[in-house]
Structure 1
Amino acid sequence: MNTKWNQLEQQMSAHGIDTLLITDPKHVYYLTGFLSNPHERFLGAVMVRGEEPFLVVPALDEEAARASSQVQRIFTHSDTDNPYRILKEALKGSPGVIGLEKNHLSVARYETLEAELGFKEARNIGDWLQNMRMIKTEEEVHKMKHAVKLIEKVLQQGLSRVQVGVTENELVAEIEYQIRKLGADGPSFDSMVLSGEKTALPHGVPGSRKIQAGDLLMFDIGVYAAGYASDITRTFAVHQLSDELTAIYNAVLAANEAAIAAIKPGVSFGQIDRAARNVIAEAGYGEYFLHRLGHGLGIDVHEYPSVHGANEDLLQAGNVFTVEPGIYVPGKGGVRIEDDVLVTEQGVSILTTFPKTLSIIG
């Protein structure tokens, strides 16, 4: 078994759990190396305490599972099979106390598992996986650096299409074309390109608005590559920018840099949020910083931790998260600058490298 399974077995022993059933496809990938989308079909990674783990996969995914999974025992089910009975047969007896990801299972699937397996008790193990995922391995960091490299190439290509008169949707189409062309698996969320006064909407929806001289232009984009996400935001000026919008940009940049400067093991997530928020407040825009500083990043584009002022959990080497302060002034515009960062034993490594100084484009 790999180190991750060993950690889970230790938790099973400590909490009196006999059988572990992992059904979230991303966690199956995290633990086995097999990445898939089973759609409505059953997928599970299973471990009985003291035994080697095994996989239950749809028959149409068997070849892919055997090619990529680090777990060697694989059971399959066709569309006419009852996968829960195949799972029960693979278990060779009662599962006893079972550990499940309750936040992933639907009520219907939980009730079916309960009826078919007859487990003694079900306990939630979602927190175990959340805590494991907080600390990235060297392999995971390598994959994330690759995802960052790809999205920065995509952004550079997208910028080459910016000119007055181009619409936000046209730029989104170019971004998503380049995502595939450059080799990513796909976007890690809906690509966002906003211009002018629409940049004041933190989660605005791109549309038919045409880019104009004097606009702020915001790209918030990311990709999945080898199962791991990147997420970057950069804001640009089209042709020129007013003094007020330039001051807003500079305040956000200073907040971004202050937060990154505060990152090191032992500091709380709340402290780095406050480091950025204080800079923006001192510039007179405190009420316009509308969201948390950032979020965890990994096999999900948004995962634990949530980087906000009330989170007093301490940073640890191996944490990867975003730093994305912003100022959003209704009717005028907004600026967000987002980096992906890795906490190291010495402090911080900034995974994103795309320039952050104010750039005039178009």
Structure 2
Amino acid sequence: MATIYEARRSLLKEHLTSNNIGAAMITAPANVYYYTGFNSDPHERFMSLFIDTQADETYLFVPALDKDAAMQDSDVTTIIPISDEQVPFEVVRDSVAGLSATVGIEAKALSYYRYTSLVEFFPSVQVVDVQPFINKQRMKKSKEEITKLRIAIEIIEKVLEEGIKKVKIGMSESEFTAELEFLMRKFGADGPSFSTIVLTGEKAALPHGSPGERKIQKGDYLLIDFGVIKDGYCSDITRTFIIGEASDKQKEIYDIVLRSNEAGINAVQAGVPVKTFDIEARNVIKNSGYGEYFNNRVGHGLGIEVHEEPSIHENNEQIAEAGLVFTIEPGIYIPNVGGVRIEDIVYINEDGNAEVLSSFPKQLQVL
């Protein structure tokens, strides 16, 4: 029986063949994992899934030190190790049958250095970008993928539930971040899915700020945006709390962001442009007089990577369809004052309806 990875490669092969693309050289680690089951960051070393449609051969080139892991995790039978002293494209040239056709690459992933190496060893090759097809294929999540995402979400929500019990006035953002990342491992995560964001007070106005030595004080906003990676899939959730006592202004801003988050989620369904979700959420903030304090998109796709397609912004005409998973995360960020963001993960199920995969309570909590 074909594995899920074989089935995914078959769809890619069909695309290559129907577009007269002789081979594909997939180098983005997330895409290699999607098509082979082997999840690895090769750092500066060369790793590639090479599909030769002309010879009907599939090769997985990996750094020599990853060979055993690749053999264990991947369903590709031809795994070719490349040791540190070898020239990667020389190994590719010696392994792949004569290649003189068009090669599909991921334009965003292939560096200029790798491109020049490819044409040095395969002078007659032309490249074409197959990234749009791969993005489209990866965008629609299977039931197995949803199960993995649910597990990653479950872990991060457990971390948040336990983590907020450890908040103390006088604790630094960095100390609290360390507590959260310890809990991630304790509850079974493979690691954070991105650098944990813990921001307090006026720093909560920085949508992607970094935790530092600022100490938690009474009356602070406490914005926590974080996620974990588990078995190759990511979670990403944001909740904002108030320390000690919430002012009327803080309550007002929190309520607007909560209504915006819910308006965005309520707009989600198959068959409408994804921009609708951004517009509906944004209108709540605009109509409340805080439009100038929300200047980023309302969400992004989530899966093997923490940011993937689709991008949920007000100009994206792409039609939403079943299988999409993305965040809805409006916020209000007032410079030198603070900010509030509430982020949920939404899945469009096979009936075309929105299912909110995150479940951590959203009513304002004063810690």
Q: 1:47 corresponds to which letter in structure 2?
A: I
Q: TM-score of the superposition, structure 2-length normalised?
A: 0.95
Structure 2 residue aligned with 1:267: 272
Q: Number of aligned pairs?
A: 361
Structure 1 residue aligned with 2:141: 136
Structure 2 residue aligned with 1:188: 193
In structure 2, distance between residues paired with 1:310 and 1:355: 30
Q: 1:12 corresponds to which letter in structure 2?
A: L
Secondary structure, in 3 states, of the residue corresponding to 2:17? Answer: helix
In structure 2, distance between residues paired with 1:273 and 1:234: 19
In structure 1, distance between residues paired with 2:119 and 2:125: 9
Secondary structure, in 3 states, of the residue corresponding to 2:166? Answer: coil
Q: Does 1:17 align with 2:21?
A: yes
- Farther off after superposition, 248-257 or 118-127: 118-127
**Structure 1 residue 95: deviation in Å?**
4.3
Structure 1 residue aligned with 2:311: 306
Secondary structure, in 3 states, of the residue corresponding to 2:345? Answer: strand
**Which residue among 79, 87, 91 is the counterpart of 2:96?**
91
Contact 2:149 2:233 in 1 (8 A): yes
Q: 2:358 corresponds to which letter in structure 1?
A: T
What is the 5 A alignment of 1:1-362? 2-49=6-53, 51-344=56-349, 345-361=351-367
RMSD of the alignment, in Å?
A: 1.4
**Structure 1 residue 89: deviation in Å?**
2.3
- Farther off after superposition, 75-84 or 187-196: 75-84
Contact 2:321 2:352 in 1 (8 A): no
Q: 1:357 corresponds to which letter in structure 2?
A: Q
Contact 2:293 2:334 in 1 (8 A): yes
Contact 1:264 1:346 in 2 (8 A): yes
In structure 2, distance between residues paired with 1:102 and 1:284: 41
Contact 2:219 2:245 in 1 (8 A): yes
Q: Percent identity?
A: 45
Runs of 4+ in 1 over 3 A off after TM superposition: none
- Farther off after superposition, 25-34 or 9-18: 9-18
Secondary structure, in 3 states, of the residue corresponding to 1:256? Answer: helix
Contact 1:98 1:119 in 2 (8 A): no
- Farther off after superposition, 301-310 or 27-36: 301-310
Q: 1:78 corresponds to which letter in structure 2?
A: S
Structure 2 spans left out of the alignment, 5+ residues: none
Secondary structure, in 3 states, of the residue corresponding to 2:229? Answer: strand
- Farther off after superposition, 31-40 or 176-185: 176-185
Contact 1:197 1:332 in 2 (8 A): yes
Residues 145 and 119 of structure 1: is their aligned pair in 2 closer, same or farther, counting only changes over 3 Å? farther
In structure 2, distance between residues paired with 1:140 and 1:206: 31
In structure 1, distance between residues paired with 2:108 and 2:155: 31
In structure 1, distance between residues paired with 2:120 and 2:126: 12
Q: 2:360 corresponds to which letter in structure 1?
A: F
In structure 2, distance between residues paired with 1:316 and 1:298: 16
**Structure 1 residue 180: deviation in Å?**
2.0
In structure 2, distance between residues paired with 1:286 and 1:83: 51
**Structure 1 residue 259: deviation in Å?**
0.8
Structure 1 spans left out of the alignment, 5+ residues: none
Contact 1:94 1:118 in 2 (8 A): no
Q: 1:45 corresponds to which letter in structure 2?
A: L
